[in-house]
Amino acid sequence: MSELRQHPASGGSWLWLAAAFVGIAGGVANYLLATAAAAHTEVAGVGTAALVSAVLDLGCWLVLGLLWLALLVPLRAGRGWARIALTASAGLAALLDLMNLFGSWAAIATAIVQLALLAAALVRLHRPVRPASL
């Protein structure tokens, strides 16, 4: 009887799912905080700028989250290009997280958690394949 084996790189799929969830949740929290700040600020331009920034941030995280979800399917099938695409998109996400370190408390907290998740996912994605034991 033959076993159904997964590709070795697909073991960290849950890390990509968690990173997508954290990014989208952080974008939503940042948007809600920006909406509250826009409603209570006396300077009109500051509240609007925070709201536009939060909407762009949420949009970027939605696109990255959907991209990661879509790339998990070919990754589990053993496609090498999916590893490259996930690595490149993780680099873009890390840049977005570094910019979020200068944002609200929600953006800072989710950026730190997501950077840790992305680092773990990339290590898991690019670890060397061990030969099967005899």
C-alpha 20/C-alpha 128 separation (Å) is 25
Residues 6+ apart with CB under 8 A from 113: 22
Pick 86 or 47 by higher pLDDT.
86
Q: How confident is the model over 88-116, as a mean pLDDT?
A: 92
Whether residue 67 has pLDDT greater than 90: yes
